[in-house]
Amino acid sequence: MTGNECKKVLIAGGGIGGLAAALACAQRGVSVQLLERAARLSEVGAGIQIGPNVTRILQAWGLGAALAQVAAFPKQLQARDARTGQVLGSLRLGGRAQALYGAPYATIHRADLQSLLHTGAQAAGVDMRLGQTVQGWRDTAEGLAMTTAEGLAVGAADDRVGDTATASPWVADALIGADGVWSAVRQQMLGDEPPRFTGHLAYRALVSQADLPAHLRTQDVTVWLGPRLHVVHYPVRSGQWLNLVAIVHGDRSAQADAWDAAGHTQALMQAMGAVGRDLHERLASVPAWRQWALHDRAPVTAARDMAQGRVALLGDAAHPMRPYLAQGAGMAIEDAQVLAQCLTTHAGRVAEGLQAYAQQRWARNARVQTRAIRNGRIFHATGPLALGRNLSMRLMGERVMDVPWLYGGGPR
Ligand SMILES: Cc1cc2nc3c(=O)[nH]c(=O)nc-3n(C[C@H](O)[C@H](O)[C@H](O)COP(=O)(O)OP(=O)(O)OC[C@H]3O[C@@H](n4cnc5c(N)ncnc54)[C@H](O)[C@@H]3O)c2cc1C
C-alpha cells in the first residue's frame, strides 16, 4: 500500500452516520471496515424526520424503493399553539416538497432507516465488526494503527501482522470517527471539552395509531409550540405508528443522565405546566415515555474541526446539534455522501480528500447547528417573542416555515 492512496477506510461507529458513510464509500469502490462497539446493531424505538435534502441522497444510493415501503410521507406540517390548540401555520410537504426540491419529505422509524443502510452497506461489501470499541489510533507511514478496548489492534502497526501488514485486511488509509456525540476519535483528534448539556430534556414515545381514538390519529407532522416547551408528532412505519417527542426545560438529574432512562408521564406533565385540552389528551394517550438529556456543541468554526491528516469526523461526532431543525441524522447522511465523493475524487491523496470533505461540509453543518439553536428559542418563546412568532406564522405561513436553502441545498 502507498501511504497516500485511499484503498481502505476504517469507520468507528455503526449509527446512521457510520452506516451511511460505509455504504457511500463502498458503493464507490473503497474497501470499508466498520467497527461498532455494540454487540448488535440496534436503534432506539423512535422516529426521525428526513427532509428532501436527505431522501434525495438515499434515492441516489438506490434505497428509494425500500424507503417507500417503510416510511410515511406526510402531506403537511402544521404548527399549533400548545395552550390554545389554535393552528398557527401550515407548510405543505407531499407533492410540494417533491416538486420544489425533487425528493419527498419522509418520516421513518430509526430502526427502519438503520436497516435500509445496513442492508445497502452489506450489499456493497462493507466488512462490519461488532463488539469493537475504538479507543484511539497511531498515524504511521504505512497507515493508521487503531486499538480497540477489546484488545484487537487494527492497522498497519499491529504487532501480529508485522511485516505482512501490506497484505493484511486490517490496514487502513483513513479513519472516520462516526462514533457519536461522546466520540473517542474526536477526543484524540481535537482534545476539546466534552459536549454541553443544553438544559433541555426530550421525552419520546411510539404509539400504535390503531390504539388511539379516531380523532387522535394523524398522518401529518404536527409541532405544538408553548412557553419553554414544544411537542412534535408524526407517523412512522407506513403511517401505522405515531412517533411523539416532547421537549421541556429541566435539570440533568441522575435519571436524565442515563442514556434512554425511563421517563414518566407525570414528570413530563409537571414540567410542561398548563397545556391546552387537545395537547393534554394526546400526551395522556401515551402509555410509556423514554427520556433523554440533550447535549450539543457550539457550531463548527472551521474545516480543521472536521478533518486533520488522515482522520475525519462525521455526524454527531463532528457537529452534535439540537434536534429543532430535525437534521442531525440528515447532516450525517450528507457528510457521508460528500466524504465518499471526496475520497474517490482525490483517490491518490487521502489527506487532501479528507480536507476537501471538511471544506465542503463545515459551513453548512455550522449553519444548521446555529439555526437549530435559534429554532429552539423561537419554539419555546414566551411573552412578546411568542406573540411575534405566532403573528408571523399566521401572516406568512409557508414563507417562514419552509427552509429552501436546507431542503434544496446539500450534495447532489
Ligand atoms: C430527540 C431527538 C430527535 C431527533 N430527531 C431527528 C430528526 O427528526 N431528524 C434528524 O435528521 N435527526 C434527528 N435527531 C438527531 C439524530 O438522532 C442524530 O444526529 C444522529 O442519530 C447521529 O448519528 P451518528 O451516527 O452520527 O451518531 P450515533 O447515532 O450516536 O451513532 C454512533 C455510533 O457509534 C457507536 N460508538 C460510540 N463510541 C464508539 C467507539 N468508541 N467505538 C466504536 N463504536 C462506537 C455507538 O454505539 C453508535 O452506534 C434527533 C435527535 C434527538 C435526540
- Per-residue pLDDT of 308-366, as tens digits, reads 999 999 999 999 999 999 999 999 999 999 999 999 999 789 999 999 999 999 999 99
Is 259 exposed, middle or buried (CB count within 10 Å of its CB: 0-12, 13-18, 19+)? exposed
Report the atom number in ligand 1 closest to the C-alpha of 317. 26
Instruction: Pick the residue whose CA is nearest to atom 21 on ligand 1.
Output: 329
Q: What number is the average pLDDT over the span 83-103?
A: 96
Query: Cell 447532489 belongs to which residue?
Result: 412
81 confidence band (pLDDT: 50, 70, 90): very high
Report the atom number in ligand 1 closest to the C-alpha of 202. 1
CATH topology of domain 8-49+111-193+298-373: FAD/NAD(P)-binding domain (3.50.50)
**Ligand 1 centroid – CA 18 distance (Å):** 9
Distance CA 206, CA 246 (A): 12
Strand partners, 31: 8
Could you tell me if 142 and 156 are in contact, meaning their C-beta atoms sit under 8 angstroms apart?
Answer: yes
The predicted-structure confidence for 246-261, as pLDDT tens digits, reads as follows 999 988 764 544 444 5
Could you tell me if 314 and 176 are in contact, meaning their C-beta atoms sit under 8 angstroms apart?
Answer: yes
What is the pLDDT, as a whole number, of residue 253? 67
The predicted-structure confidence for 192-219, as pLDDT tens digits, reads as follows 999 999 999 999 999 999 999 999 999 9
What is the pLDDT, as a whole number, of residue 267? 83
Q: What number is the average pLDDT over the span 399-412?
A: 94
The predicted-structure confidence for 44-71, as pLDDT tens digits, reads as follows 779 999 999 999 999 999 999 999 999 9
Q: Which of 16, 181, 364 to mutate to test the pocket of ligand 1 (most atoms within 8 A of CB)?
A: 16
What is the pLDDT, as a whole number, of residue 332? 98
From the candidate CATH numbers 3.30.70.360, 3.40.50.2000, 3.90.1200.10, 3.30.9.30, the one assigned to the domain spanning 64-109+195-295+378-407? 3.30.9.30
153 confidence band (pLDDT: 50, 70, 90): low
What is the pLDDT, as a whole number, of residue 263? 57
Q: Which of 55, 316, 325 to mutate to test the pocket of ligand 1 (most atoms within 8 A of CB)?
A: 316
166 confidence band (pLDDT: 50, 70, 90): very low
**Ligand 1 centroid – CA 19 distance (Å):** 11
Q: Is the pLDDT at 159 greater than 50, yes or no?
A: no
162 confidence band (pLDDT: 50, 70, 90): very low
Give residue ranges with CB within 6 A of ligand 1.
12-18, 35-38, 48-49, 133-134, 178-181, 184, 202, 245, 292, 294, 315-317, 323, 326-330, 332
Per-domain residue ranges for the chain? 8-49+111-193+298-373, 64-109+195-295+378-407
